[in-house]
Each structure stands twice: as C-alpha cells, then as structure tokens.
C-alpha cells in the first residue's frame, strides 16, 4: 500500500490520475492539493478536483487549495498562450470542444480550510518516511512547502515530479515542458532540496515510443463493455474522445497520453520503468528560449557544476502493463 499526496493542476490527464488513484486498491490517497496551472485559476482547478472525487464516490479524501500563482512565472503573453492555443482548437473542432476543460460546475462539497502547503508539511511530518508526493502540475506548492519546512526533504518518502523533457521535444519551447516552464524556480527548489525525486519527463508520456501507454478509442470501448455499470467509466467514455482526437491530430500521438497517471504509477510500480541512477538535475532559469529546460548531469564534463544527485529520470515505460493497471483501477470505481 503506497500513501500518496497528489498535487494537481486539473488538466484532463490530472482528472484521470485522480480517478485512477481513487480506484487503485494499492494506493491510499492521503489528499489532493491543487495548484494554478494548465486548467486555469486555483478555483477552477480546485472545483474540478472536488467534482472528480464526487464522481469517484470518494469525498472522504481531503482536498486543499494551494498556490494561485507561480514564484516568478513568465511574461503575461506567454502565460496566456495556452488559451490562444485552445482558440485554435476551437476553429478545428467547433462545438465538440465544449467537453474540453469546461468551466467546473459548483462542487457538492468543499476544500478543507487549510492551505496546500500546510497540508503537505503536516502530512509528511506526521508520517516520516511513509508519504510520497506526486506533483503533476507546476511545482509551486511542493517548493513552497520545502521552503517553509526544509525538514520535509528528509521525511518525505519520495517526490515524483511530472515534467521536463530530454530526447522528446518540449511543448512550450523545443527544450521546455509546460509544468517546469510554468514555474522553473519552483522545480529547481524541488530538484535541489535533497529529497529523493523521480522525474517523469515527456519522453515516457508524450512520445510514440511509449504508444502502448496511450488511451485510444479502442480502450474506451473496452472500458464501456467491461464496466457498463460504472459511472466513472461512463464519464471517461463521454469526456475523453475529444482529448484523444486533439492529441492525435495536433500532437500526432496515437492516443491521449496519461502523463499524470503514469507519474502515480512511478510510485506504485517503479519496475514498469527504465530509470537512471540518481543524478543531479537542474533547470535553466535564464532566457525565454531555454527557460524551464531540464538538464540532467550524466557523462563527464570539463566545467564543474554541483548539486545533489537525488533525481532518477525515467527513460522508458512498459506501456502495456501501465495501461492495463490503469483500466482495471478506473473500472473498479462505481
């Protein structure tokens, strides 16, 4: 049984990661914390989480709202670029896009009155060596928790950071992936904190090398026929065809990549992955072109750089094993 805090920014794959974690028998979800990011402002992100847990019948899981902005962020126009990208999609997909990241309806229950930073610090301190943090959005909450309580770097079991890219081109710049790009200073704090980190980059999520891990219409058909009574499954089958189409057409992937659920599985089944030995991984903070680039120190260099060798970078994934576990867990929800 793995005890996990899931820190999310509520994009489509975050929703699936929440459903997966709520349904997976081997996970004890300690709580879900939220951060402003891909799906918009902190209220929208938090409402999506609350609604998703209601759908999963798991409103017993605490939800704590977190950072409403990154530490530094990026130029306003760049931060808003994903919105313009969505408009582009609208032109192509028209009305069908209504199901893509829609405004969340008023949730049936509330987030706890505690800030995500405090929830992370208190939960990790109360359970030394027991709790893993899986952060699938910008790293703001985790960084601020480590800043206010540096001792949790020793107490956390591990931190899974979903983000970065190495061989696979980035989605914000050719070398930067959104989560790291959106708060590079925060990612740097996490990677330099001394805590054990597993970095799950685009290379093992959004690359056709790991095509077997992606959600396709065939998978939706399987789910629908295997679990006809599950509300969660019918929600997934109604909501995600549009995501599959967008990722096929715009990103040329064979299906919808399940990045955030893959990050959760890195805690549960590290053996599904090929990972490096622990490395020092840093983040470029400098100019626009390379801001948010993840740099893993491997091989030998002439110039000296130093930082903690604490990050294992995922290099490959057994997509079939992952997807099969994913489908079984979603199917087990009522």
Q: Work out whether 211 is an interface residue with another protein (CB under 8 A).
A: no
Q: How far apart are CB 145 and another protein at their closest, in Å? A: 10
- CA-CA distance, 68 to 37, in Å (whole number)? 9
| Of the candidates 91, 146, 96, the residue with the CA atom closest to the CA atom of residue 116 | 146
Cβ atoms of 254 and 208 within 8 Å: the answer is: yes
Q: Which of 43, 130, 185, 222 binds another protein (CB under 8 A)?
A: 185
- CA-CA distance, 56 to 27, in Å (whole number)? 14
Nearer to another protein, 115 or 157 (CB): 115
Q: Work out whether 123 is an interface residue with another protein (CB under 8 A).
A: no
Q: Kindly give the pairing relationship between strand 281-283 and strand 294-296.
A: antiparallel
Q: How far apart are CB 6 and another protein at their closest, in Å? A: 20
Q: Which of 26, 41, 72, 84 binds another protein (CB under 8 A)?
A: 72
Q: Work out whether 306 is an interface residue with another protein (CB under 8 A).
A: no
Stretch that binds another protein, among 13-21, 82-90, 185-193, 274-282 (CB under 8 A): 185-193
Stretch that binds another protein, among 47-55, 69-77, 194-202, 247-255 (CB under 8 A): 69-77
Q: How far apart are CB 53 and another protein at their closest, in Å? A: 24
Q: Which of 189, 266, 323, 325 binds another protein (CB under 8 A)?
A: 189
Q: Work out whether 67 is an interface residue with another protein (CB under 8 A).
A: yes
Cβ atoms of 29 and 60 within 8 Å: the answer is: no
| Of the candidates 166, 138, 106, 108, the residue with the CA atom closest to the CA atom of residue 9 | 138
Strands (E), the chain: 2-8, 27-34, 63-65, 131-135, 158-162, 197-200, 273-275, 281-283, 294-296, 311-317
Q: Which of 26, 68, 154, 221 binds another protein (CB under 8 A)?
A: 68
Q: Work out whether 69 is an interface residue with another protein (CB under 8 A).
A: yes
Interface of this chain with another protein, residues 141 to 160, rule: CB under 8 A: 143-144, 147-150
Q: Work out whether 286 is an interface residue with another protein (CB under 8 A).
A: yes
- CA-CA distance, 283 to 279, in Å (whole number)? 13
**How many Cα atoms occupy the beta-carbon half-sphere of 31 within 13 Å?**
22
Q: Please name the residue that has the structure tokens 């190495």.
A: 166
Q: Which of 34, 48, 115, 263 binds another protein (CB under 8 A)?
A: 115
Q: Work out whether 117 is an interface residue with another protein (CB under 8 A).
A: yes
Nearer to another protein, 135 or 204 (CB): 135
Q: How far apart are CB 68 and another protein at their closest, in Å? A: 6
- Residue 110 Cα distances to 53, 67, 185, 203, 305, angstroms: 11, 17, 30, 36, 46
Binding mask 124-143 vs another protein (x if CB under 8 A, - otherwise)? ----------------x--x
Which residues are registered as beta bridge partners of 295? 282
Q: Work out whether 71 is an interface residue with another protein (CB under 8 A).
A: yes
Number of residues that bind another protein (CB under 8 A): 21
Q: Work out whether 285 is an interface residue with another protein (CB under 8 A).
A: yes
Cβ atoms of 263 and 132 within 8 Å: the answer is: no
Q: Which of 39, 63, 186, 323 binds another protein (CB under 8 A)?
A: 186
Cβ atoms of 196 and 129 within 8 Å: the answer is: no
Q: Please name the residue that has the structure tokens 């599904």.
A: 272
Q: Work out whether 188 is an interface residue with another protein (CB under 8 A).
A: yes
Q: Work out whether 56 is an interface residue with another protein (CB under 8 A).
A: no
Cβ atoms of 218 and 186 within 8 Å: the answer is: no
Cβ atoms of 189 and 292 within 8 Å: the answer is: no
Judged by the rule CB under 8 A, the positions of this chain that interact with another protein are 67-69, 71-72, 115, 117, 140, 143-144, 147-150, 185-186, 188-189, 285-287
């Amino acid at each position: 049984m793995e005890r996990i805090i899931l820190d999310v920014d509520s994009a489509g794959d975050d929703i699936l990661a929440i459903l997966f974690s709520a349904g997976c028998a081997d996970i004890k979800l300690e709580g879900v914390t939220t951060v402003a990011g891909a799906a918009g402002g902190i209220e929208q992100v938090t409402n999506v989480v609350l609604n998703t847990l209601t759908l999963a019948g798991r409103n017993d899981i605490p939800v704590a709202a977190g950072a409403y902005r990154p530490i530094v962020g990026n130029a306003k126009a760049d931060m808003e670029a994903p919105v313009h990208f969505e408009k582009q999609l609208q032109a192509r997909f028209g009305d069908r896009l209504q199901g893509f990241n829609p405004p969340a309806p008023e949730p049936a229950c509330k987030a706890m009155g505690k800030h995500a930073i405090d929830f992370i610090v208190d939960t990790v301190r109360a359970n030394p060596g027991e709790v893993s943090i899986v952060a699938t959005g910008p790293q703001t909450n985790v960084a601020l928790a480590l800043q206010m309580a540096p001792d949790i770097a020793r107490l956390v079991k591990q931190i899974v950071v979903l983000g970065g890219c190495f061989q696979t081109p980035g989605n914000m710049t050719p070398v930067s992936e959104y989560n790291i790009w959106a708060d590079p200073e925060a990612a740097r704090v996490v990677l330099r904190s001394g805590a054990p980190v597993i970095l799950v980059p685009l290379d093992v999520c959004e690359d056709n090398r790991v095509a077997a891990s992606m959600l396709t219409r065939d998978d939706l058909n399987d789910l629908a026929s295997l679990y006809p009574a599950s509300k969660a499954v019918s929600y997934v089958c109604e909501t995600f065809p549009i995501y599959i189409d967008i990722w096929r057409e715009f990103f040329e992937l064979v299906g919808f990549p399940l990045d955030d659920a893959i990050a959760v599985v890195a805690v549960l089944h590290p053996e599904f992955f090929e990972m490096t030995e622990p490395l020092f991984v840093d983040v470029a903070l400098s100019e626009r072109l390379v801001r948010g680039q993840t740099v893993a120190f491997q091989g030998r260099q002439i110039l000296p750089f130093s930082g903690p060798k604490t990050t294992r970078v995922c290099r490959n994934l057994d997509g079939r094993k992952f997807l099969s576990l994913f489908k079984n867990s979603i199917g087990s929800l009522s």
